[in-house]
Each structure stands twice: as structure tokens, then as C-alpha cells.
Amino acid sequence: MTPELFLDTGGYHRVAKGRHGFVMYNRFDTYIGRSIENYGEFSEHEVDLFRQLLQANDTVVEVGSNYGTHTLPIARLVGPNGFVHAIEAQRIVFQALCATIALNNLGNVSCYQVAAAAEAGHFFIPQFSYGEEQNYGGMEIDREISGERISAVKLDDLVTVSTLRLIKIDAEGMEQQVIAGASRLIERYRPFLYVENDRAAKSPALVRAIAALGYRLYWHIPPMFNPNNFAGNLENIFGGICSMNMLCLPRESDFAMDEFQEIQDYDAHPLAPVLQPMRNAG
């Protein structure tokens, strides 16, 4: 069983009607697109967490929105009087994101085609052939030296908010840069941070940078396959693959996450239990 195919463009883009609405996606995308095609959703266990964190009227900044698979449920959770700032660097993927938002008539979302970074500048997007199978959400743009030039901006300079509940960051190894560029927002509004951390070698520095801002950090490692998926498809095409994320709460917050594992050892990572001989003392 597959979700309802609403539109086949005849090229790499399709539109499916999934759990949270219409999604335009690349049918050759090996993770997100494949998940939408087979299940009508992507990493729904993360959405389960957002339901605990968000409520009506909240403001969210999402870095790495991709096709909008999480932008959609977040926008619905915060409601018409809440707001989502959705950021996606890749132009072709950004266009699909905008289509997703438009198809669902979401007036509470603004989309930006920029790269969130520690300082203003620029990065390069490689010239992909979007009709070939590839993980388009896994591109590390800070390694590219040529391609399509895009602006790099600090979140502090990009968005203007009067309140901020959550910053969600999926930036393919640039998470620490994004955090550095959001220092004023974080200091003023003390939002929850939901941060991808799947590069074991970069983990100690990222964990320390967030902890130094006065946050408690917890692992959140949900499996990509949801047996209760929208399509009712019981075939697990992802095996044991999980998303590797951290939920970070301000130390002054009384928000309880007792069922999560708090990060005590800043040098340990689930993908590499001991990265360095020196253990964290703080």
C-alpha cells in the first residue's frame, strides 16, 4: 500500500497526499523522498516529540526544511497565529518546499533559500542531476568549493521574532555554525533546541558549545521506520537506520524529559562510544 499519488509531473518531482497534507518531493531521493513514496510521512517519531514541545501560537525556526515533511506538522501544531521560519539552502529542493507550503495553504510559514551559518558570506551548492538516485538531504555544503553560489546568513540577522519556542536544526555537519549564528536569539528567548548530531567526530565540540549556553542535552534517536505509518505499509525499507538528534532544554526550564537519556559524557557518541581517551568532567 502506498500513499495517494496526487500528481506525477513526468520528471523527478511528484506530489503525494500524506499524513500531514500534500508534499512535493523528489522520487529519486533515497531517504526522504523514498519515505514519502512508501509511507506518506518521514521520521514521524520526531513529529511525536514536537507534539510534546509545541502548542498554539508558538514560533519556530527550522533550519534544513527540505521538502517540508516536518514543516507541515509543525505549522499545524502552532496554528494560524503561530509562525514557522523555514530555511532550505538547495534551490531545487527549496522550490519543492515552497510548493508544499502553497499546496497546503499555509499562511503561517515563510521560506528562505539561504544557508544558516556563523557569519555572513556564501557557500556553494553542487550541480546535481536531480533525476538520479541520491540522498539530497545529506549534502555538506561547507565542503564545496564550486557550484551555485548561495548566501550564508546568521539566524540573528535573518529572522525577526517577538517569541521563540523551538529552533530545529538539520544542517549536515554545520549545526555548530548555525548555533553560533543564533547566539542573540538563544540568549534572549531561550528556545528549545532540536539538533541533528550524526557526525561523531564533530559531536564533542557541538555538545560543549550548546552546554556552554546553559542547556541540558538529551539524546533522541528515533527509528526512521514507523510501523504505524500513514500508508499502513509494514515493509521496513530502512532496516535499523535511525535519526541521530539531541533535544536541548534551557537549564532554567522545568520541562520534564525523564524518559530521555541525558548527555553526561560530552566525548561519547552512540556511533562511536569513546572518541577520545579524556572523559568529560563538566
- The answer to whether 141 and 151 have CB atoms below 8 angstroms apart is no
Pairing type for strands 59-63 and 83-87 reads parallel
Instruction: Give the predicted TM-score (pTM) of the model.
Output: 0.93
Instruction: State residue 273's pLDDT score.
Output: 55
DSSP state of 280: P
DSSP lists the bridge partners of residue 238 as: none
Q: What percent of the chain has pLDDT over 70?
A: 95
C-alpha cell at 181: 549564528
Q: Do the beta carbons of residue 114 and residue 89 sit within 8 Å?
A: yes
- Is the alpha carbon torsion for 17, 19, 21, 24 positive or negative? negative
Q: How many CB atoms lie within 10 A of CB 139?
A: 18
User: What's the confidence (pLDDT) of residue 229?
Assistant: 97
Residue 15's pLDDT is 97
Amino acid at 282: G
What is the sign of the dihedral through the CA atoms of 204, 210, 214 and 219? negative
Q: Do residues 190 and 215 lie in contact, with contact meaning Cβ atoms separated by under 8 Å? A: no
pLDDT of res. 81 = 98
4-262, what's its fold? Rossmann fold (3.40.50)
- The residues with which 176 forms a beta bridge, in sequence order, are none
pLDDT digits (tens, 9 = 90+) for 124-183: 988 878 888 988 777 777 777 788 999 999 999 999 999 999 999 999 889 999 999 999
Reported in sequence order, the residue ranges of 51-172 that DSSP labels E, i.e. its strands, are 59-63, 83-87, 109-112, 115-116, 121-125, 148-153, 166-169
Angstrom distance (rounded) from CA 101 to CA 21? 10
List C-alpha distances in Å: 260 to 120, 249, 250, 275.
35, 12, 15, 22
Q: Which residue reads 525499507 in cell numbers?
A: 237
Q: What is the pLDDT of residue 2?
A: 61
Determine the Cα–Cα distance for residues 218 and 56; give it in Å rounded to an integer: 24
